[in-house]
Amino acid sequence: MKNTSYKGSAFAACTSSMILLSAMLASQSASAHGYLEVPPSRALACQKGLNTNCGGAQYEPQSVGETFKGFPAGVGGAPLQGPVDGKIPSGGHSLFSALDAQSATRWHLTEIKDRNIDFQWRYTAVHPATKHEYFITRNNWNPNEALKRATFESTPFCTIDGGNQKPESGAKHNCNIPADKNGHHVILAIWTVGDTDAAFYNAADVNVIAEPELPGGWSSVGGIAPSTALLVGDKVKARAFSANGESSNYSVEISIDNAEDGSPNNWSFKLAEAINKAHTLVRAGVRDENGTIEPVKGNNSLYAQKESGVIRYEVQLDMREDAAARMAVASQQPEYVLDKGQAKVEFSMIANRKMNVEATLHDEHNKLVGSTSAQVDSGSTSLTLDVRSNPGKHTLTLVGTTLDGRTTRQDTQATQLTGDGAGADYDFVFPEGISDYTAGTKVLQPKTNEVFECKPFPESGYCKQYSPTATGFEPGVGAHWHMAWNKL
């Protein structure tokens, strides 16, 4: 392990670096990807459900924090590089900007019980590493301000020389967290890539309670991550589990009695308070450097003493239906006119809640001929379905679900289509449902607006032989389509 120090602490933001980064990354033939796995990075904690409202970071923690190398100062006296102040966790990428939010209760804190720690990375596209560095926030830092260079100590407390070799996932970086670091801190882990101009900056939110400095005998057994607004009449239950199953004696439930209680941060605080009032061997809250555990309005951790037998908690939401939620088709045309079997079916809907909606149109034989989906705001919204069908009676079905998932509403309306039909009937619009193609399957080729029928066995096997790069048997288009299909 190599410890390295840097001189100087005067830093200035360089926003042009982010513009240059886009061009730099686009020009590289390959891109490295990876994330801090132990302790989990802020983004990985999002993917694990420990953090909420994380934007795109929860889907690809391996891409978070990639920007120019050079932290905290420029390399070799060069202009300042690395992430911009205020955007250090995201690396300045808008897709991950939710990670730049910073407050004392915004993020789940991983407990660090031993100052001798093994950091561990996971690489999804490994490239050589010149080094891995670990910075930590200064004492008396303000956890309610955006993270800046000045938030962190000017030198890393640990540096691992990478030798410009490809690191292995799961390899351990043994480091020691300084003795004067206690309580809530952010560790900035940096993987500097050897064959590009980039580095990966991963923020990890930790609560340093290393024994024996902080006695108490508590073990972490879960957390309360407030994510969903609740309504009056809803309930939240912290379910306790021992090695033998659910331990109902230590389970605690609260009810949402008023609108203020329903705020995510408020019900998290209320549940944590209820747990602490009900038990002495179980505590909920955030633990400070003195070992005191107190609830906060935000993310709360759950702790248990060994004699309780509790090894984990699960938080369960019992949400009642939103009886006042409404949604319906507001208006549609008397009829829609098909042109060679195609039409745009436009209609308006109205809802009094934000909803995820799906609209489908079925013909008189209950075949799906058009669909669309969208997230809509409360009020009136216009929707359009691209339809392929024949004249006749159709059924328009609109289904909406409130964003919290508690309530679904449906409206069904008769719809009339006239004009020129699509000609021969068909089962699928190519290549939809391709895995179900068998002898006699009829498909509409949207490129030619013609219908083709899959030939009998054994030629029917060719009907499924299609991919964007292998189109030889595509009906009416591929070089060998006639081996698989008959044109109707």
| pLDDT tens string 14-65 | 333 333 343 333 333 345 689 999 999 999 999 998 998 898 888 889 989 8
By percentage, how much of the chain surpasses pLDDT 90? Answer: 54
Residue 92 to residue 66: CA distance in whole angstroms: 8
Q: What is the pTM of this model?
A: 0.48
Mean pLDDT of 363-387: 93
pLDDT, the chain, mean:
86
Instruction: Give yes or no for residue 245 having a pLDDT over 80.
Output: yes
Residue range 104-126, pLDDT digits in tens: 889 999 989 888 899 999 998 88
Instruction: Give yes or no for residue 215 having a pLDDT over 70.
Output: no
Tell the residue number behind the tokens 């990354």, with chain if given: 25
Mean pLDDT of 441-463: 90
Most distant CA pair in the chain: distance in Å?
82
Give 423's pLDDT tier (boundaries 50, 70, 90). Answer: low
Mean pLDDT of 404-421: 92
Tell the residue number behind the tokens 């329903």, with chain if given: 262
Lowest-pLDDT range of 7-11, 38-42, 201-205, 243-247: 7-11
Which H/E stretch holds residue 170?
A: none
Residue 150 to residue 120: CA distance in whole angstroms: 26
Mean pLDDT of 74-88: 70
Instruction: Give yes or no for residue 7 having a pLDDT over 80.
Output: no
Which H/E stretch holds residue 357?
A: strand 355-362
Residue 214 to residue 287: CA distance in whole angstroms: 10
Helices (H) and strands (E) in the chain, counts: 3, 29
Please state the separation of Cα 425 from the chain's center in Å.
42
What is the model's pLDDT at position 260? Answer: 94
Phi, psi of 20 (to 5 degrees): -65, -30
What is the model's pLDDT at position 13? Answer: 36
What is the model's pLDDT at position 79? Answer: 57
What sign has the CA pseudo-torsion 465, 471, 473, 475? positive
Amino acid residing at 71: F
Lowest-pLDDT range of 193-202, 271-280, 334-343: 193-202
Q: Which two tokens stand for residue 411?
A: 């409206």
What is the model's pLDDT at position 444? Answer: 87
What is the model's pLDDT at position 18? Answer: 39
| DSSP assignment string, 392-440 | EEEEEEEEEEETTSS-EEEEEEEEEEEE---SS--SEETTTTGGG--TT
Give 74's pLDDT tier (boundaries 50, 70, 90). Answer: low
Instruction: Give yes or no for residue 344 having a pLDDT over 70.
Output: yes
